[in-house]
């Protein structure tokens, strides 16, 4: 082996060891793949189990929910946000990330690439917190100036140009330095006038694991869709779910200065 090849191999080994050491929840094989590509993608379609989910405190809860939902379409995403230099695993950095997860009004106007339409499309025409699923009174984003609570629940309204206006239950978790956001629909998600996804049959998880100035990002989204004209088996449907998740990841990175 040449000196140059040896140096490259040593640098790669040091980088992998560094990533594994700083993010103990990460599988070694995933760490190596992430160092090479910066992003990994998995399919949850047709009931497939998550294969990229790190060893997070809520791992079993997430796995159990995915099994129970029996998703007909879904995707997962594991990525590294490289950071801008500011530490994000400090109390101040964690609070910044937690408040960002609550800043749902900022997602209004967010765009994604629609695989079925082959063009950019607005994901959320409206996005805000509400007081209650019945009265649906709009509320400003919640901001936490102090200690992050271990568990928090709020309700959201989001008008999706594909699935219409939907009420969501959003649950926030903070454990072991990991910030997690779990959402599920409390009203049907409609498509072409039909209830494409019944209430509480969609799910989404966003998990942020900061280490230094970087973030390990894990996200999954999917739903148990009704059988209609083969849409539940459409490859473009899964691709659009991936593009929606990627758009949300992009929203986080832009908000953080990426």
The better pLDDT of the pair 20, 257 is held by 257
Q: What is the DSSP-derived secondary structure letter of residue 11? A: H
User: How far is Cα 181 from Cα 222, in angstroms, rounded to an integer?
Assistant: 15
pLDDT at 196 over 90: no
- The domains of the chain, with CATH numbers, are 38-255 (3.30.530.20)
Burial class (CB in 10 A: 0-12, 13-18, 19+), 196: buried
**Residues paired with 190 in a beta bridge:** 195
CB proximity list for 235: less than 8 A, separation 6 or greater: none
Mean pLDDT, range 236-254, rounded to an integer: 93
Mean pLDDT, range 223-240, rounded to an integer: 70
**Residue among 195, 189, 115 nearest 159 (CA):** 189
User: How far is Cα 136 from Cα 115, in angstroms, rounded to an integer?
Assistant: 32
pLDDT at 232 over 60: no
Q: What is the pLDDT of residues 111-147, one digit of tens each?
A: 999 887 889 999 999 999 999 999 999 999 999 999 9
Host H or E run for residue 125: strand 124-130
Between the alpha carbon of residue 218 and those of residues 39, 62, 155, 182, 257, the distances in Å are 10, 12, 22, 12, 19
**What does pTM read for this prediction?**
0.88
């Amino acid at each position: 082996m040449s000196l140059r090849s040896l140096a490259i191999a040593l640098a790669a080994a040091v980088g992998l060891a560094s990533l594994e050491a700083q993010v103990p929840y990460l599988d070694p094989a995933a760490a190596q793949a992430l160092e090479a590509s910066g992003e990994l993608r998995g399919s949850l379609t047709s009931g497939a189990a998550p294969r990229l989910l790190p060893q997070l405190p809520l791992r079993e809860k997430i796995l159990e929910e995915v099994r129970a939902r029996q998703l007909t379409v879904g995707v997962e995403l594991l990525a590294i946000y490289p950071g801008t230099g500011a530490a994000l695993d400090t109390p101040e950095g964690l609070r910044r990330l937690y408040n960002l997860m609550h800043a749902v009004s900022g997602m209004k106007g967010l765009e994604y690439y629609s695989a079925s339409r082959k063009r950019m499309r607005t994901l959320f025409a409206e996005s805000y917190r509400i007081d209650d699923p019945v009265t649906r009174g709009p509320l400003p984003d919640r901001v936490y100036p102090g200690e992050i609570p271990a568990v928090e629940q709020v309700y959201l309204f989001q008008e999706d140009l594909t699935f219409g206006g939907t009420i969501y239950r959003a649950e926030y978790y903070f454990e072991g330095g990991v910030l997690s956001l779990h959402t599920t629909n409390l009203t049907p998600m409609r498509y072409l006038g039909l209830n494409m996804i019944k209430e509480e049959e969609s799910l989404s998880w966003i998990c942020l694991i900061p280490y230094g100035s970087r973030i390990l990002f894990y996200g999954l989204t999917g739903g148990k869709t009704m059988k209609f004209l083969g849409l539940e088996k459409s490859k473009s449907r899964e691709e659009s779910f991936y593009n929606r998740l990627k758009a949300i990841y992009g929203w986080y990175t832009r908000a953080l200065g990426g």
